[in-house]
Homo-oligomer: A and B are copies of this chain.
């Protein structure tokens, strides 16, 4: 067996996020993280000041990935409904690609400074998407009988739910992201 590559701050964050996603951030201790990493707590504190610093890095990864989607050309150019479709598909893909990061983000309730900051950034993301939905309504492509904020919450509620039930090996990430878009845009009924 080859000796394990020494941990750095990024690989330690990977381990910590899996522990946080599994046990809940509040329920997880630095002892749990050390055990999962197979090193001593002292070695972890060599890299990082504590549990909240690991959480902060994880939340930063999740939010940076979400905001990067809004900068993609297909999210910026074209009709609002097409931009929205691209964003919804990429958010679902990103959720599955960064599953521990997004799992932790979606469960955060603002108990600490890092968490409140993450909640604020998430709200800003939701507002930007809500504006695109409202524009798609003005352009006549999205139904106008429902509030755009409510639509954003329900679409992302559906998409975010994958962190609760996805297990690798069943359906592919692409198939799930496709299904989220299909359901959000066209519903379950046959046309």
Contact = CB atoms under 8 A, between A and B. Distances in A.
Interface of A: 24, 26-27, 81, 106, 133, 140-143, 145-147, 150-151, 153-162, 164-165, 171, 176, 179-180, 182-191
A178 to B, nearest CB: 9
B161 A147 contact: no
Copies assembled: 2
B155 A157 contact: no
Contacts of A147: 171, 179
Nearest to A148: B188
A187 B156 CA distance: 13
B154 A190 contact: no
* Residue of A142, A159, A183 with highest tally of chain B CB at under 10 A: A183
Contacts of A191: 191
A191 B185 CA distance: 10
Given A154-B161, A187-B185, A146 B27 contact: no
A161 B162 CA distance: 11
Contact of A164 (B141, B142, B157, B183): B157
Given A26-B24, A146-B179, A188 B153 contact: no
A150 B162 contact: no
Chain B CB within 10 Å — which of A142, A165, A189 has the most? A189
